[in-house]
Amino acid sequence: MKVLAAMSGGVDSAVAAARAVDAGHDVTGVHLALSAQPATLRHGARGCCTVEDAHDARRAADVLGIPFYVWDLAERFRADVIDDFVSEYAAGRTPNPCLRCNEKIKFAAVLDRALALGFDAVVTGHHARLVDGRLVRSVDSAKDQSYVLAVLTAEQLSHAIFPLGDSTKDRVRAEAAERRLAVADKPDSHDICFIADGDTRGFLARTLGAQEGPIVDAVSGETLGSHRGSFGFTVGQRRGLDLKRPAPDGQPRYVLSIQPKTNTVLVGPGELLDARQVRATRPVWTGRPAPSAPVECHVQLRAHGMVSPAVVTAGGEGVLAELRTPQRGVAAGQALVMYDGDTVLGSATITSAE
């Protein structure tokens, strides 16, 4: 096949491209420039999308002997991922930009362009497997990225290749070293790539403007403190509340909900965070047809962890998951991903939890 390998400059995508070459594909490497003014390490940027990352990706392509280009998708990324990230926070939800980038950039804008240009598929370094067109967790459960890919439709998955799903991250690094790829010992990126200093709250404050509001106790109704913008909070958050006085019961307080209209952050004791029912919208079913009867499965509610057995009922535009094990701090805006064992059945966007 003629395939396009998205190369971030990291070790995973470099090895994924190498394996695609070994598999006999005609591989072309592409680095996605997602920032109109790419930062450099000199500016203190971490994560991906720096000038150095573009260089690392190019060097890996050189070593593999494949053609390499940079595609400028900065404008699309700004509109589809960054602006969405900001408006989701402004609406009191907690978005996952990596998931959004997969959905709108890597497997939409890039895939569409690749198909139009005569490619058959897009190769990425995601840690996940594709088995008979269905998305399956990586064998390395700590590095599994099926959660951030679960938004993809069956059509998108049919043009995706994930060569790393059968390997652990350690194995990938070792292989990179064996292949003499200079990125073999490059640190993993953890931060949100467009927030170079890692300070999400600062980024949101700069973008949305700081605005003081109350932190209110859900039990007593008392105002326990103030904040400089409700968008800076995530459901389940405990640290950084900076309460002026303790709650009447002396127990720690967690963010229960964010009410952007009144710029209020509602806090309460941990047990009020326990959710048994999660509602989600815009479901995508790739591991099975949309079910007409309740389904026993596992649901994952955050990119890492927060997995529970559940009964999922699909109806209309949404799904309802009744959790067998209550989960603490389920945030609207995150994905609800449903698994049968390691296989992704489908996903939907969380709207509420109670």
Partner 1 sequence: MPYLDHAATTPMLPEAVSAVGEAMGELGNPSSLHGAGRRARRRVEESREQLAASLGARPSEVLFTAGGTESDNLALKGLYWARRNADPGRTRVIASAVEHHAVLDAVEWLAAHEGAQVTWLPVDATARVSSDMLRAAIASDPDSVAVVTVMWANNEVGTIQPISELADIAHEFGIPIHTDAVQAVGTLPVDFDASGVDALSLTGHKLGGPYGAGALLLRRDVDCVPLLHGGGQERDVRSGTLDVPGIAGLATATALAVERRDEVAPRVAALRDALVDGICSRVPGVQVNGHPSARLPGIAHLTFPGCEGDSLLMLLDARGVECSTGSACSAGVAQPSHVLIAMGASPAQARGSLRLSLGHTSTRADVDAVLEAIGPAVERAQHAGITSVLAP
Of the residues 48, 49, 98, 193, only one is catalytic, namely 193
Residue for token digits 């991250």?
Answer: 169
Q: Please, what is the minimum distance in Å from the beta carbon of residue 45 to partner 1? A: 13
Sheet holding 26-33, edge to edge: 68-72, 26-33, 2-6, 121-123, 160-161
Distance of CA 338 to the CA centre of its chain: 15
CA dist., res. 229 & res. 204, Å (int) = 9
- Nearest-10 crossing angle of helices 169-178, 11-22: 70
Interface with partner 1 includes 284 (CB under 8 A)? Answer: no
Interface with partner 1 includes 71 (CB under 8 A)? Answer: yes
Q: Which stretch binds partner 1 (CB under 8 A): 104-112, 237-245, 262-270, 274-282?
A: 104-112
* Residue among 7 and 319 whose Cβ is closer to partner 1: 7
* Residue among 118 and 250 whose Cβ is closer to partner 1: 118
Q: What is the DSSP string of 71-140?
A: EE-HHHHIIIIIHHHHHHHHTT----HHHHHIIIIIIIIHHHHHHHTT--EEE---SEEEETTEEEE-S-
Q: Which stretch binds partner 1 (CB under 8 A): 11-19, 67-75, 168-176, 181-189?
A: 67-75
> For 87, what's the count of Cα atoms within 13 Å in the CB-facing half-sphere?
7
Of residues 46-65, those binding partner 1 (CB under 8 A): 51, 54, 58
Q: Does the annotation count 297 as an active-site position? A: no
Interface with partner 1 includes 28 (CB under 8 A)? Answer: yes
Q: Please, what is the minimum distance in Å from the beta carbon of residue 30 to partner 1? A: 9
Torsion of CA 125, 130, 133, 137, to 10 degrees: -110
Among 22, 62, 72, 155, the residue binding partner 1 under the rule CB under 8 A is 72
Of residues 105-164, those binding partner 1 (CB under 8 A): 109-110, 112-113, 116-118
Joined together, the tokens standing for residue 233 give 């909070």
CA dist., res. 115 & res. 136, Å (int) = 24
Q: Please, what is the minimum distance in Å from the beta carbon of residue 51 to partner 1? A: 5
Q: Which stretch binds partner 1 (CB under 8 A): 75-83, 149-157, 184-192, 346-354?
A: 75-83
Residues with catalytic annotation?
101, 193
Footprint of partner 1 on this chain (CB under 8 A)?
28, 31, 33, 36, 38, 51, 54, 58, 67, 69-76, 79, 109-110, 112-113, 116-118
